[in-house]
Amino acid sequence: MMKKKNIQIALLITMLAFLISGCTSAGAASSWPGVTIIENTGYVSNGAQTFAVDLKNGSLIWKYPAEAERARQAFSAPKVGEGIAVFGDYNGALIAVDAENGTKQWEFSGAKDRYIGSIVLADGMIYAPNTDHYYYALDTEGSLQWKFKTEGPNWTTPVSDADGIYFASMDHTLYAFEHTFLSASMDIAEDGSKTLRTDVKWTLDLGMAVVADPVLVDGVIFVATIEGKLYAVDAANGSTIWSFNNSGNLGSVWGTPVVGDSIVYFADVDGSVYTVDKETGKQLWPSAFSAGSKIVGGGVLTSDGVIFATEDGKLFLINSEKEPKTISNFEKAIFSPLGISGENIIAAPANEDALLTAIDPNGFEIWSFLPIK
């Protein structure tokens, strides 16, 4: 009788453990697929594995690791250059694999926290943002060249041009650096690691954290904050050319702004799409277009306008005249940025049926890719 009671208590406590564990984020998805499209190849990190997919037919080219590791969580979009694909994971590992076949080339494990944003490959260097408050600069062999400490976690992908490299941090600051540094500007630790002192080219206080990847076009950085403000910043000196916040009514911006010839398109988590003049920041439509559902991922520019995806799974095209056209409805949240391959639109609805799906401009499915578990 007593033994039975003991078992009942043990069961009760175990149930309580499951209940409390269920209230936490442990084991739950914490992000959405990170996708990069390069011509006919799609690279996607989604939790336990990273895949390269042939976008002509949706077939698997390679996957890393070969067998899914449950403890691994990777969501930063792989970036490809100089023959390697580089991506980070939540365990602080930055991994480079052969872009053609997925064979591991090297791993940098010097970071202490998560890679949420993607790396950028520029001028023979890899710049990697980490949530441990550092940006890491490595050569393409994976050797750490220097690191730079910020006041907060770093979630966004840096941007670069011939003149420099630019980081938008969660510490509310946009940082600009030259591509090269004198060794005199480094603090060299006992282990040989070099930390860059704060002699940055310039910084700009954005007043709020940044979670949306900035974009750099013709010497102007377009960067949006979580408070809902879009800045156009002169990359040469860090001065604000203009800023737009829709009189304080702009929601939090998570997607990279889409910069056309003369118009900047962007959307907020309230589901509103805005267009502003690229040169002046003046709002072009009298009012925003309401998509009716949260927009998280950035849009993709086509010859007919910009395509956005919503939390309720709708894909729609909107042109500069504010004329919307529904393309498809996945009925599943799409938070990842969209891509274009040939004429097809590539979306990552990350549901149980498909990780990547290609549809034609009329919304007809061409193929879908679902990794074998």
Partner 1 sequence: MWESLIIEPFINALLFIYDLIGENFGLAIILFTIIIKLVTWPLMSKQIKSSKAMQDMQSDPDWVAIQKKYKNDKDKLAQEQMSFYKEKGISPFASCLPTLFQFPVIIGLYQSIIQTMGNAPLQMLNLIPKISPWLKDVFSFIPGLQEPISLIPLNSQFLWMDIGQPERIFIPGISFGIPLLAVIVALTSFLQTKLISTSSADSQSNQMSGMMNIYMPMLMGWFAYSLASGLALYFLTSNLFSIIQYAALGRFDFKNLFPKKNVEVVKK
Per-residue buried b or exposed e for 6-36, using 16+ beta carbons within 10 Å of the residue's own CB: eeeeeeeeeeeeeeeeeeeeeeeeebbbbbb
Q: Is 17 or 188 the residue whose CB approaches partner 1 more closely?
A: 17
Q: Which residue intervals of 191-269 are DSSP H helices?
A: none
In whole angstroms, what is the distance from residue 215 CA to residue 73 CA?
26
What is the rounded distance in angstroms from the CA atom of residue 318 to the CA atom of residue 291? Answer: 10
Residue 92 burial class via C-beta count within 10 angstroms: exposed 0-12, middle 13-18, buried 19 and up: middle
Q: How many Cβ atoms are within 10 Å of 276's Cβ, its own excluded?
A: 22
**Residue 8 or residue 237: which is nearer to partner 1 going by CB?**
8
Residue 316's Cβ-count burial label (10 Å; 0-12, 13-18, 19+) is buried
For 171, the token pair is: 């510490």
Is position 231 an interface residue for partner 1 (rule: CB under 8 A)?
Answer: no
Q: 126, 296, 306, 334: which one contacts partner 1 (CB under 8 A)?
A: 296
Check binding of 71 to partner 1 (CB under 8 A): no
Piece in contact with partner 1 (CB under 8 A), picked from 1-9, 52-60, 120-128, 298-306: 1-9
Q: Which one of 18, 22, 30, 188 is in contact with partner 1 (CB under 8 A)?
A: 30
Query: Contact between 207 and partner 1 (CB under 8 A)?
Result: yes
Region near partner 1 per CB under 8 A, out of 10-18, 43-51, 80-88, 339-347: 10-18
Burial per residue of 325-357, b for 16 or more beta-carbon CB atoms within 10 angstroms, e otherwise? eebbebebbbbbbbbebeebbbbbbbbeebbbb
- DSSP-assigned letter for residue 293: S
Closest to partner 1 by CB, 138 or 347: 347
Q: Do residues 116 and 76 lie in contact, with contact meaning Cβ atoms separated by under 8 Å?
A: yes
**Closest CB to partner 1 among residues 153, 339:** 153
- Please select the residue that binds partner 1; options are 18, 20, 342, 364, rule is CB under 8 A: 20
Q: How far is the CB of 281 from partner 1 (least distance, A)?
A: 22
From residue 117 to residue 136, what is the string marking binding to partner 1 with x (rule CB under 8 A)?
A: --------------x-----
- Tokens for 130, please give them: 């980490």
Contact 339, 35 (CB under 8 A): yes
CB of 2 to partner 1, least distance (A): 6
| 75 near partner 1 (CB under 8 A) | yes
170 or 317: whose CB is closer to partner 1? 170
Exposure string for 51-74, b = 16+ CB within 10 A, e = fewer: bbbebeebeebbbbeeeeeeebbb
Q: Is 29 a residue that touches partner 1 (CB under 8 A)?
A: yes
According to the binding rule CB under 8 A, does residue 162 interact with partner 1?
Answer: no
Q: Which stretch binds partner 1 (CB under 8 A): 29-37, 50-58, 156-164, 299-307?
A: 29-37
Binding residues for partner 1, rule: CB under 8 A, are: 1-2, 5-6, 9-10, 13, 16-17, 20, 23-26, 28-32, 75, 90, 114, 116, 131, 152-153, 155, 170-172, 207-209, 211, 226-227, 252, 254, 269, 296, 335
